[in-house]
Amino acid sequence: VSTQSTGNSVQDARKVLEFARAAHPDKRAVLYGHSMGTGVVCQTAYQLLDEGAPVDAVILEAPFLSIPDVVFKSPVVRFVNNLPLYKDFLWQFSDLFRTKDVIGDLSGVLLLFAENDEVIPTCHATELHRLCPGSTLHLVPEGGHNFLIHQDSVKRAVEEHLKQNSLRSSRN
């Protein structure tokens, strides 16, 4: 599922992956995204899967269901929902990065999320985990929205996920 709104970012990600695969054909392809980048990663992985060229693993740090789900429901921006024309303005972007619509088709997905994320509510991670059978959800009590990857438990979760997914990969 890609739209003109998401198309440029996904196209750029695909070009980077194409370059990396050409330069290192013997290596596994792993896509890693943080926050807004998780939407790009999921759309890219979904398109590649649909074309018969799937990636080996997908790692999503602070993922979200969709941009409207974050904007309309987030406590950070809740106060602006009452501004005149705000919702009408945002609905024109309602198709942006609808991760919830594509994640269920992906495999090798690791979801990393801080329970104290101040931007995206934890329910996004738990719902994405529910929508993606076989995914792994790693919740961290602290870390916030931007510094999760620096936590030792997260580094271990990523390493373990990559080890597990190397067993399923045809590009070892």
pLDDT one-digit tens code per residue, 80-108: 666 666 666 666 655 678 899 999 999 99
Across 59-75, average pLDDT: 83
pLDDT one-digit tens code per residue, 2-16: 444 567 889 999 999
Q: Tell me how far apart the alpha carbons of residues 71 and 134 are, in angstroms, rounded to a whole number.
A: 28
Q: Residue 21: pLDDT above 60?
A: yes
pLDDT one-digit tens code per residue, 38-64: 999 999 999 999 999 999 999 999 999
Are 55 and 45 in contact, with CB atoms under 8 Å apart? yes
Q: Tell me how far apart the alpha carbons of residues 126 and 32 are, in angstroms, rounded to a whole number.
A: 18
CB under 8 Å to 22, separation ≥6 — which residues? Answer: none
